[in-house]
Amino acid sequence: MEKVEIKVEAIVHTEHTNTLLKSTYNESRKLGNNKFDIEGYTFYGHNRLVKHHKAKRGSGDQYKVKILDKSVEGILWLNFDNEQETFCVCVCYLPPRGSSRSNDPEQFYANLTNQFYMYQNIGQMYIDGDFNSRCSEISDFIEGVDDITPREVIDYNSNANRDSLIDILVDCNLCMLNGRKGKQDFTCISKRGKLVVDFIITTHENIHMCTDFDVRIMSDITNELELQDMNHSVLTVSFKRKSTNQQDKTPQASYSNIQKLPCKPRSRSKPNKFLNDDAVRVKIEQVIQNIENNLTKQDIDAAYGCFVELISDGVKSKIGEKSEPDNQYRKAKGKS
């Protein structure tokens, strides 16, 4: 099985809604003086000058990149696909507390969790961005259960967003690459101090595919290129992909019909017999039997969809849900 190394570099300027994703594996398809035309950015490169007479472009392999989901403000899912595999990159930005932009960390992480479960089976997944969450020495995995190497910690302070980020990592079997691979450094350096608030996150199963991780201090980049100074560092990750034949590619399941759980259930009104009556127990046992007896991925996905629908119906019928606000995020207090 062929292993090809890909390096993905994410530069996220969320305040100006500029996001640049660069894959060094794909840039070789350019020829001569051809350049990437991205508004707000200048491309510098040295392309190959001669193309083989049978080749259609500078290289024979490429990824088709499309937006997978942009329904939630501050969360962008990108899908990279070719004839052999698919992987996802999620770019996030959570404004700091007290920001002029409205902020609801609980809703932000609830949306991110929901989307993770929707797209987790597409392929390798990498979530990166500015989470404005300082996690100190808190473990991002279950010690004694998960076979994960503890991360190196250089920022020993925490903030109010810490628990929300740690919860999604533990619940979804995700972990930070910061402090586990390659170079570790502060990701935000300003007059207020040195912080680690930007992360690249992946699943436990993907850690061995990551060959390198690097944090480049923005002052080094701005001095080198004579650019305007910025606070946040650039995080890069290199990972391997497994090249397989087209006929071996597993069909991807469709999650468009899976019903989502209510975002804000009325948790205070939860009855004692929630999901504990005879009819619900029978349905749960049926779902468990289907998952245990069906070996194909499509059957397991179908059983999972039925289970999500079962819980959603139980929440709506026994607990109820809060009415959704007009705006996705609440307006900051004191702002008109």
Residue 136 resides in a domain: yes
Claim to verify: residue 152 and residue 215 sit in the same structural domain: yes
The strand pairing partners of 107, in sequence order, are none
In this predicted structure, what is the pLDDT of residue 127? 95
Q: What is the Cα–Cα distance from 38 to 91, expressed in whole angstroms?
A: 18
Q: What is the pLDDT of residue 114?
A: 94
Q: How confident is the model at residue 307 (pLDDT cuts 50, 70, 90)?
A: confident
Read off the pLDDT of each residue in 100-119 and give the average, rounded to a whole number.
Answer: 89
Domains identified in the chain, total number: 2
* Residues 239 and 303 placed together within one structural domain of the fold: no
Query: In this structure, what CATH number is given to the domain that contains residue 210?
Result: 3.60.10.10
Model confidence at 140, in pLDDT bands (50, 70, 90)? very high
| Best-predicted range by mean pLDDT (18-27, 119-128, 265-274) | 119-128
274 in the same domain as 190: no
Q: Are residues 204 and 129 in the same domain?
A: yes
Clarify whether residues 132 and 269 are in a common domain.
no
In the structure, what pLDDT confidence band is assigned to residue 310 with cuts at 50, 70 and 90? confident
Q: Mean pLDDT in the chain? A: 73
- Least trusted range by pLDDT, from 6-20, 33-47, 65-79, 288-302: 6-20
Residue 93 has pLDDT above 50, yes or no: yes
Tell me the pairing of strands 174-176 and 64-69.
Answer: unpaired
pLDDT tens digits along 169-206: 999 999 999 999 888 889 888 878 899 999 999 999 99
Residue 100, CA distances (Å) to 96, 159, 233 in order: 9, 18, 22
> Tokens 């961005």 appear where?
129
Q: Which of 248, 275, 298 is the last residue of a domain?
A: 248
pLDDT score recorded for residue 204:
95
pLDDT band, residue 309 (cuts 50/70/90): confident
Q: Is the pLDDT assigned to residue 43 strictly greater than 50?
A: yes
The lowest-confidence range among 1-15, 240-254, 261-275, 319-333 is 1-15
Q: Are 246 and 216 in contact (CB under 8 A)?
A: no
Q: 306 Cβ partners below 8 Å, 6+ apart? A: 283, 287, 290
pLDDT of residue 302: 77
Give Cβ neighbours of residue 249 (< 8 Å, ≥ 6 apart).
83, 84, 85
Residue 43 is assigned to a structural domain of this protein? no
Q: What is the pLDDT of residue 311?
A: 78
Does residue 51 sit within a domain? no
As a whole number, mean pLDDT of residues 290-304 equals 70
pTM equals: 0.56
Helix (H) and strand (E) counts in the chain: 5, 12
- Band of pLDDT at residue 65, cut at 50, 70 and 90: confident
Domain of residue 328: give its range: 259-336
pLDDT of residue 44 exceeding 70, the answer is no
The answer on 213 and 281 residing in a single domain is no
Instruction: Please indicate, yes or no, whether residues 177 and 307 belong to a single structural domain of this protein.
Output: no
Residue 12 counted as domain residue: yes
Return d(Cα 189, Cα 177) in angstroms, integer: 19
Answer yes or no: do 264 and 234 share one domain: no
End-to-end Cα separation, the chain, in angstroms: 59
Model confidence at 247, in pLDDT bands (50, 70, 90)?
very low
Q: What is the mean pLDDT of residues 238-256?
A: 52
Q: Is residue 50 part of a domain?
A: no
Q: Are residues 271 and 316 in the same domain?
A: yes
Q: Do 145 and 70 share a structural domain?
A: yes
pLDDT of residue 153 exceeding 90: yes
| Of 59, 63, 127, 130, nearest in space to 93 by CA | 130
Whether 31 is in a domain gets the answer: no
If asked whether residues 226 and 274 sit together in one domain, one would say no
